[in-house]
Chain A
Amino acid sequence: EPEVTQTPSHQVTQMGQEVILRCVPISNHLYFYWYRQILGQKVEFLVSFYNNEISEKSEIFDDQFSVERPDGSNFTLKIRSTKLEDSAMYFCASTIGIVEGYTFGSGTRLTVV
């Protein structure tokens, strides 16, 4: 069964550093998403991406965050200057259409120290 692949599985970074979280969505999917889950809390929407542009973003997704689909296969989330409160599991997801269910990746655990 096709999978959404996320790398790395765990990343530790110092506060103020830039991090890039990488995702390879399912190849024929058209809609891409990032979500995050702080330990013990709900899964929260960050951003959706379609046709090479952001279609929706949450209040969490401020100027420190950006997304890119550089080569037609990868989908990246960049955090420019990490804060302690950015520590969370980050999940990438993709879907082929707007009604179909999402396929989520297994996540990247980001720890900011």
Chain B
Amino acid sequence: DAKTTQPPSMDCAEGRAANLPCNHSTISGNEYVYWYRQIHSQGPQYIIHGLKNNETNEMASLIITEDRKSSTLILPHATLRDTAVYYCIVRRITGGGNKLTFGTGTQLKVEL
């Protein structure tokens, strides 16, 4: 699976959009981009995923550049409860295990 690079930490004011970047310059055509978050020591929580197109759900939007070498997760109106570590994971889909390889992620701190 392709390696990802994320900033170690970011701050965001409550109510503003949080834009979390991820570089995955070695991504292959059959690899998806996934975003998860982990609040304190809880289990990771799935947020969104995409292959080529931009995606939106009730939690967030995922913007993938045309060359697919980077992406941005957007939390449109961040709240204090969005304070968490956010993981960008690139994953090849096969018929096998389809494991997730977690990095160190971005610690997002949402402040008043």
Interface of A is mostly: strand
The reply on B38 being an interface residue by CB < 8 A is: yes
How many A residues, CB 8 Å from partner? 27
The chain A residue sitting closest to B105, CB to CB, is A42
Residues of chain A within 8 A of B98, CB atoms compared: 31, 48, 56, 98
CA of A98 to CA of B49 in the docked complex: distance in angstroms?
12
Residues of chain A within 8 A of B49, CB atoms compared: 99, 101
Closest Cβ of chain B to A21, distance in Å, is: 13
Closest Cβ of chain B to A10, distance in Å, is: 11
Closest Cβ of chain B to A46, distance in Å, is: 9
The chain A residue sitting closest to B97, CB to CB, is A56
Contact B96 A56 (CB under 8 A): yes
CA of A37 to CA of B32 in the docked complex: distance in angstroms?
24
Contact A105 B32 (CB under 8 A): no
Interface residues of A (CB under 8 A from B): 4, 31, 33, 35, 37, 42-45, 47-48, 55-58, 89, 91, 93, 98-99, 101-107
Given contacts A56-B97, A99-B93, 12 further A-B contacts (CB under 8 A): A42-B103, A43-B87, A47-B97, A48-B96, A58-B99, A93-B43, A98-B95, A99-B32, A101-B47, A101-B49, A102-B100, A104-B44
Q: Can you name 18 A-B pairs with beta carbons within 8 Å?
A: A35-B100, A37-B41, A42-B103, A43-B100, A43-B102, A45-B100, A45-B101, A47-B97, A48-B98, A55-B97, A57-B97, A89-B41, A98-B94, A99-B93, A101-B47, A101-B48, A105-B43, A107-B41
